Chain A
Amino acid sequence: MQIQDTLPQLRRYYHISPRLLFAAGLVALFVAIPLAYIFFRAITGGEEVWIRLLQTRIWKLLGNTLLLAATVTGGAALIGVTMSFFTERTDLPGRRVFRWLLAMPLAIPPYIGGIVHLTLLRPRGGFIPQLLASWFGQPIPTPSPLGFGGAAFILTLFMFPYVYLLSGAAFRSLNASLEEASRTFGRSNWQTLWEVTLPALRPGITAGALLVALDVLAEYGTVALLRYETFSSAIFVQLSGRYDRSAAAVLSGVLIVIAVIILWGELRLQGQARFTQMDSQWRPAPPHQLKRWKIPAFLLVAFVVFASLLVPVLVLGVWSVQALLDSETLASIMRSGSQNFGNYVWNSLWASGLAAVIAVLLSLPVALLSVRYPNKLTQAISRFCQIGYAIPGVVIALSLVLMVNRYLPFLYATPLVVVMAYVLRHMPQAVRASESALNQLSPSMEEASRTLGRTSLQTIVQVILPLIVPGLLAGAGLVFLTSLKELPATLLLRPAGFDTLAVRVWIWASEGFYVQAAPAALLLVVASAAPLYFLLRREQIFR
């Protein structure tokens, strides 16, 4: 029997297992403590810190952060939906290939994309302005990639795939009958798109957009690189530039409040996004004919792929070759202290891998509880464990720096703290993947196992786990992918001699040694692309 397409009815079950509840409660506590600690520090940060920040920083940061989040979210929604419309609902030439290419920028951390575009676009010194200058014989003013415009451009370019993937899946799952019904009521193709199709996709689009918004709030590398100050980068500066943690804690408290509001909206939409689910009657809607718009549409999609994928990969590739050919650069790439390139790669892989395993293990009791015993308490635990989405890496780092050093000094300055930050931050992906895998598993499987003489633990090991392994692997893949790219928490928490690829890229790039940073960046992209490929293969639109 295939894993069921339909949601199994949520059955009332025998008593909630106290062991499971206890385990899930511990996981929730593990998530809660750093958050509670930061809030505690924010509130007790001292009146004069609050007053100083309210008078000087908070309002401007709030404006900056919200403006950037809103712009990037809007831009990502626009590009994401447009791209998924072209690849899913039209006869765009090459749409099968584009479907993949448009998702791949997820493998490129925005700060690496930012580094590449910055070198290309920097006024006067950038590759493009110089090219223009040599063509026209005089400098041509070009928009600067620094500041708000640049940050918005880069973040949009590398975050639109969230919306693209979610809206693409929604487009794909739409039943032809929906649009046909609209046509029978006298609506044109165009009216149908606006009045029926897009509203039907709204939950998917909004869920993607809110993910983008959360990511923008958490983003450190790009805004720091492009010198646009948001809460995240300001916290980092406070944290690394001052001998006073209170200000950072206060700013973190404000940032968490904003993020929790957005996360709350996203969680509310999660369930609703299901209403485009396919049933057995499903028929794909026939693609629209682009006709004379075929070439402009092709160029538009090609441009997005060019800017978000080809340019970064090509530039990194060229730099990497340059770096490898230059013995001096190569020598500096290979060493920092007693560490060499192999150490960075290995550190990246094992820390992210361990985080993925732990996050998935911790997500299991939470997911089992919320899927099998759905009630207010278990839902609350599940949602609570997804709060990591709303805590930017730099805040998690701050919390762990303060807490671990004070209460668990033996853990401090070990790579395990870095792993812990990854787990806290990326647990939501694991919880969601585990829940969705369990949701597709009929509860009668477990009941059958119980009546055939297995205890609940044996059932989990012998029946549930083997059946949800693909789903768990997907969750682990997501955690691995996002941990690999993680920058601010790693920067702040890494012990001496524990640099990851992301850290090396950042250190070299922030010193201006872009060529030197390129091989590590390229490797990071490739290492992220592998799990991404695996994850996308599971998605319906890539079958």
Chain B
Amino acid sequence: MQHFSRKLFGLLFVLTLLVSACGGGTTVSGENVPETESAQPVENEAGVSGDLVIYSGRSESLIQPVLDAFQAKHPTVKILLKSGSNSELANALIEEQANPQADVFVTTEIFTIQNLYQQGLFASYRPAGADSLPPEFIGPDDSWIGLTRRARVIIYNTELVSAEEAPTSIFDLTDPKWKGQIAAAGSTNGGMQAQVAAMRQLLGDVDTQEWLAGLMANDVTFFGGHTDVRKAVGAGEFKIGLVNHYYYYLQQAEGSPVGIVFPDQGEGGIGLISNATSAAIVKGAKNVPAAQAFLDFLISEEGQKLFAELNYEYPLLPGVALKEGVQPLDGFRLADVNVAEAALDFNGTLDLMEAIGLP
């Protein structure tokens, strides 16, 4: 026992010495010139094995089926998943830049991943099949790839709100007639952050801020995630919610009386705000072969089908069918957002929400 504690003290001593010896430190700055490593696709897909560390900003229930399918294909790979918010994990990646822990980063929107690309955090990789994806969903230097699209929609409880009454624009949400009747996700939610970032691009800071202030003045209840929002609207706790489109379908599948509005389609409207889930391989990843195999799988027909079937998302790979009942995006006018610019000033988006005091 003494022996053990003596060893322990020894360890502590070494620890303190180390700490005191290393003064100063390096800071991560956004101005780093992105460097990209090139890596060749690994041929023997079946041969990948080992730990695959995935940092995922996606709701676990939405990504687990995909992980399971990948796991089934590569039984020797051990998937170590760290779930959290996009920004939490992005921060971890930045912090770990000199000491990378993750192999793959999966996120729910493209601003964060673009921002991290600008900080030079990713290794280039162009997965098999990437050529079939729409080019705007492949990051510069093949740093990241888009996986699925999602649209920001309005969900409403059909027992409390008729289809005619339902708001047709996100700007209707500040209408006092909905005061206290609306649920949304808060400032820590990636989907919400992306929406605000997009709106800043479309409207500028002043109008975006006004819209957020309007939401708060309208006593919108902000939850931590969208599952709470959809369930609350489904249960009639709130009349209206602001969610990603698939939450509507998930709630509908539970048998709730809910309706959906793809907003801002009218003349002069800003259009439907959409975004894409995305993934990238972390520079310095320890298990590059497995990471590449995983990215290959995500945009393979099989992976894309899973996202479409289980999650009601819009697959980016052409030819993969939508889940039955999901309205195709083709029919809607989409808001036009400059991803790179929005990503560059992502801190500005956070500042704006903080200044407003968005919960």
Contacts and interface: CB of A to CB of B under 8 A. Distances in A.
Given A337-B79, A496-B54, A511-B59, A240 B84 contact: yes
B101 A412 contact: yes
A409 B99 contact: yes
Given A23-B9, A242-B350, A511-B59, A338 B235 contact: no
Nearest to B222: A227
Given A227-B222, A241-B88, A497 B96 contact: no
A403 interface: yes
A56 interface: yes
A480 B359 CA distance: 33
Contacts of A243: 28, 30, 90-91, 94, 115, 346-347
B64 A336 contact: yes
Contacts of B9: 23, 26
Nearest to B62: A511
B242 to A, nearest CB: 15
Contacts of A536: none
Interface stretch (A88-96, A119-127, A311-319): A119-127
A513 B231 CA distance: 10
Contacts of B115: 243
Interface in B35-69: 51, 53-55, 59-61, 64, 67-68
B211 interface: no
A406 B101 contact: no
B206 interface: no
Interface stretch (A27-35, A297-305, A521-529): A27-35
Contact of B354 (A26, A56, A364, A461): A56
Contact of B18 (A361, A408, A460): A408
Contacts of A508: 60
Interface residues on B, range: 35 or more
Contacts of A496: 53-55, 80-82, 101-102
Given A240-B85, A496-B53, A409 B30 contact: no
B83 interface: yes
A240 B88 contact: yes
B120 interface: no
Contact of B16 (A26, A227, A339, A401): A26
A227 B101 CA distance: 31
B224 interface: yes
B225 A337 contact: no
B265 interface: no
B5 A332 contact: no
Contact of B95 (A57, A405, A507): A405
A239 interface: yes
Contacts of A460: 2
B87 interface: yes
Contacts of B2: 457, 460-461
24 contacts: A23-B5, A26-B12, A29-B12, A33-B19, A56-B354, A56-B355, A125-B238, A229-B359, A240-B91, A241-B87, A241-B88, A241-B91, A243-B346, A332-B60, A335-B68, A337-B67, A403-B19, A409-B99, A497-B81, A507-B83, A510-B224, A511-B224, A511-B227, A513-B61
Nearest first, the 5 A-B pairs at minimum CB distance are A497-B80, A125-B237, A337-B81, A512-B227, A240-B88
Interface of B: 1-2, 4-5, 8-9, 12-13, 15-16, 18-19, 22, 25-26, 28, 30, 51, 53-55, 59-61, 64, 67-68, 71, 78-85, 87-88, 90-91, 94-96, 98-99, 101-102, 115, 186-188, 221-228, 231-232, 235-238, 346-347, 350, 354-355, 359
Given A56-B354, A225-B224, A240-B188, 12 more contacts: A26-B13, A29-B16, A229-B359, A240-B85, A241-B188, A332-B61, A336-B60, A407-B19, A492-B88, A496-B55, A497-B78, A497-B82
Interface of A: 23, 26-27, 29-30, 33, 56-57, 122-125, 146, 224-225, 227, 229, 237, 239-244, 332, 335-339, 358, 361-362, 364, 401-403, 405-409, 412-413, 457, 460-461, 465, 491-492, 494-497, 507-508, 510-513
